[in-house]
């Protein structure tokens, strides 16, 4: 079996891996390889033929392939080494990366490994949706791949379960291709995806969004014939007697994304209980020395622009790691307080400025984001509106942290806590 030494191995050539590779090259890291299981780089962007990508980063609205293309072109100019058709099947704590290719198994021994595997979709089985198991039940991303990459029409009359962004985008896509979309049914009392997608994908096409509803039964032994939807109570339990059967041949599930961390677990990387991505510090270091993570493998983003940004920040940290100039790991725990679903990083050293990413637990108006360190509130930002669908990013200055935190080694530093309250 072939074995190669590399300074950096990037696993995945989606938006995070692409941005990390380009940034590393610009930072002078030459000895790097990007491993991609598909036969072309771009990741999930390749099937996202709708526009709206890049508004933050490029100030213009691009399609997914166009957005990816900008990075692919830059990577090509910089001479980034991509290995496509290369599935990573092994990763250990010693940063040995084992890849299956048509040419054989290759093992890379890396100084740094960048986890950029993205995420996968939650399935019908994971939600334990009862009923028969006919064809015509797709996760939104699979339906999107079939329609946009494989030219296969998945159905004629669809119900969408879950108001995740891809589900709403597929509602519009199916409508544009002549299918009837009966409605989008969301178990929560608010939409899961971005408001712009509710407006542009549902409202503009007259597709109803039914909140506090879920699918309680599927019928059809061969192809799907109908689903039954029902209203749920405040505990998300279906209310008896509210069921309504909707004839349809297609059920699209857009019920959540899960960071794809099977390789991370192989290497012993510790995961965050809420995000199910790696526990990282402000330098994107996981619990395993020399293994870093950014993008959707770390936390599911709503905008790809921030995936790129996060991966570029990671690249700077990796370059410093290779140069031996990254500070030792931090001991300040970062906690999600009231109104906050999760916050990353989960711990910081606090010797340098850093960015927190977080999500609101529920939609709210006129709230204040407060970051407290011990007794002191070190930052307050007011928001007219917050939504769980929209990731919040907040800069924190190291100088603002309480002095004990950065200095004292003797006692355990006090945690940072982030809250969103009225």
Partner 1 sequence: MTSENMDFDVAIIGAGVVGCAIAREMRRRDLRVAVLERELDVGRGNSSRNSGVLHGGFTYKPGSLRARICIEGNHGFDAVAEELGVPFRRTGKVVVGFSEDDMRSLERFKAVGEANGARGLAIVDGARLRELDPSARGEFALHSPDSGILDPMAYTLALAKNAALNGAEFFFDREVFGAVRRGELWELFARTGAGARDAEIFRTRWVVNASGLGAAKISAMLGIPGYTIRGFKGEYFVLDKKAGAALRMPVYPAPDQKGGFATHATPTVDGNVLIGPDSYIVEDFSDFSTTSARMAGLVRDGLKMFDEVKPEHYIRNFAGIRAKRVDPATGEVLDFVCEAPEHAPGVINLVGIESPGLTGALPLARRACALLAGREDTRPNASFDPRLRGSDRIAGTRFAAADDAGRSAMIARDPDHGEIVCRCENVTKAEVLAAIRGPLGARTVDGVKTRTRATMGRCQGGYCQTRIADILARELGLEPSEVLLGKKGSNLFVGSVRP
Shortest distance, position 239 Cβ to partner 1, whole Å:
13
Class of residue 368 by CB neighbours under 10 A (exposed 0-12, middle 13-18, buried 19+): middle
Answer whether 67's CB lies under 8 Å from 115's CB. no
Q: Which is nearer to partner 1, 56 or 87 (CB)?
A: 87
Q: How far is CA 208 from CA 181, 195, 337, 387, in A?
A: 9, 14, 34, 20
Least distance (Å) from partner 1 to the CB of residue 155?
A: 6
Between vectors from CA 121 to CA 243 and to CA 211, what angle results, nearest 5°? Answer: 35
* Cβ atoms < 10 Å from Cβ of 72: 20
In the complex, what is the shortest distance from the CB of residue 68 to partner 1, in angstroms, rounded to a whole number? 18
Q: How far is the CB of 404 from partner 1 (least distance, A)?
A: 37
Give the nearer residue to partner 1 in terms of CB position, either 87 or 404.
87
Closest of 17, 260, 249 to residue 143, by C-alpha: 249
Of 9 and 198, CB closest to partner 1: 9
Q: Is the peptide bond before 345 cis (omega within 30 degrees of 0)?
A: yes
Nearer residue to partner 1 within complex by CB, 124 or 347:
124
**In the bound complex, what is the minimum distance in angstroms from residue 87's beta carbon to partner 1?**
4
Nearest-approach distance from CB 280 to partner 1, in angstroms: 21
Q: Which residue's CB is nearer to partner 1, number 106 or number 326?
A: 106
Are the C-beta atoms of 68 and 38 separated by less than 8 Å?
no
Query: Largest Cα–Cα distance of the chain, in whole Å?
Result: 67
> Looking at beta carbons only, is 121 or 305 nearer to partner 1?
121
3 state SS of 161:
strand
* Residue tagged 């405040």 (tokens): 234
Determine phi and psi for 76, rounding to 5 degrees.
-65, -45
Structure tokens at 361: 């637990």
Tokens of residue 18, six digits = 């692409």
Nearer residue to partner 1 within complex by CB, 86 or 113: 86
Looking at beta carbons only, is 153 or 323 nearer to partner 1? 153
Q: How far is the CB of 6 from partner 1 (least distance, A)?
A: 18
Select 257 or 367, whichever has its Cβ closest to partner 1: 257
d(CA 124, CA 141): 13
Where does this chain bind partner 1 (CB under 8 A)?
1, 37, 85, 87, 89-90, 98, 100-105, 107, 120-121, 123-128, 130-136, 139, 141-142, 145-147, 149-156, 177, 216-219, 221-223, 238, 249, 262
Tally of CB atoms within 10 A around 365: 9
Q: Which two tokens stand for residue 420?
A: 């969103």
The least CB distance from residue 11 to partner 1, in Å, is 12
Bridge partners of residue 184, in order along the sequence:
160, 209
Distance between CA 354 and CA 313 in Å, rounded?
Answer: 10
In the complex, the smallest distance separating the C-beta of residue 365 from partner 1, rounded to whole angstroms, is 31
Residues 6+ apart with CB under 8 A from 16: 43, 116, 118, 294, 295, 296, 297, 307, 308, 310, 311, 314
Please state the closest distance from residue 225 (CB atom) to partner 1, in A: 10
Is the distance from CB of 250 to CB of 138 less than 8 angstroms?
Answer: yes
Of 93 and 394, CB closest to partner 1? 93
Least distance (Å) between residue 271 CB and partner 1:
11
**Closer residue to partner 1 (CB): 69 or 90:** 90
* Rounded-to-integer distance, Cα 11 and Cα 296, Å: 13
């Amino acid at each position: 079996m072939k074995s190669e030494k590399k300074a950096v191995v990037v696993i995945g050539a989606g938006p995070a891996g692409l941005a990390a590779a380009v940034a590393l090259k610009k930072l002078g890291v030459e000895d790097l390889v990007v491993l991609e299981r598909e036969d072309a780089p771009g990741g999930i962007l390749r099937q996202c033929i709708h526009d709206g990508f890049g508004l933050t980063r490029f100030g213009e609205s691009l399609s997914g392939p166009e957005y990816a293309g900008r990075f692919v072109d830059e990577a090509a100019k910089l001479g980034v080494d991509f290995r496509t058709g290369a599935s990573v099947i092994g990763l250990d704590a010693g940063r040995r990366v084992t890849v299956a290719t048509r040419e054989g198994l290759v093992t890379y021994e890396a100084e740094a490994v960048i986890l950029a595997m993205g995420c996968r979709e939650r399935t019908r089985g994971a939600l334990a949706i009862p009923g028969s198991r006919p064809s015509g039940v797709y996760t939104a991303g699979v339906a999107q791949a079939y329609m946009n990459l494989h030219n296969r029409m998945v159905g004629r009359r669809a119900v969408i379960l879950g108001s995740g962004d891809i589900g709403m985008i597929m509602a519009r896509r199916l409508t544009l291709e002549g299918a009837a979309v009966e409605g989008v049914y969301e178990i929560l009392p608010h939409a899961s995806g971005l408001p712009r997608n509710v407006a542009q994908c549902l409202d503009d096409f007259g597709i109803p969004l039914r909140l506090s509803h879920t699918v309680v039964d599927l019928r059809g032994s061969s192809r799907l014939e109908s689903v039954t939807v029902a209203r749920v109570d405040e505990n998300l339990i279906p209310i008896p007697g509210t069921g309504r059967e909707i004839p349809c041949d297609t059920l699209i599930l857009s019920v959540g994304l899960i960071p794809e961390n099977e390789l991370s677990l192989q290497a012993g990387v510790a995961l965050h209980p809420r995000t199910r991505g790696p526990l990282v510090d402000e330098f994107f270091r996981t619990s395993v020395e020399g293994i870093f993570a950014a993008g959707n493998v770390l936390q599911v983003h709503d905008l790809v622009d921030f995936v790129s940004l996060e991966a570029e920040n990671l690249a700077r940290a990796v370059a410093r790691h290779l140069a031996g100039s990254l500070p030792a790991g931090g001991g300040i725990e970062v906690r999600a307080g009231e109104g906050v679903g999760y916050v990353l990083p989960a711990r910081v050293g606090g010797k340098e400025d850093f960015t927190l990413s977080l999500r609101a637990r529920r939609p709210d108006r006129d709230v204040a984001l407060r970051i407290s360190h011990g007794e002191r509130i070190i930052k307050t930002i007011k928001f007219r509106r917050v939504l769980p669908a929209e990731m919040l990013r907040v800069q924190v200055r190291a100088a603002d942290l309480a002095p004990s935190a950065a200095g004292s080694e003797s006692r355990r530093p006090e945690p940072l806590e982030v809250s969103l309250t009225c």
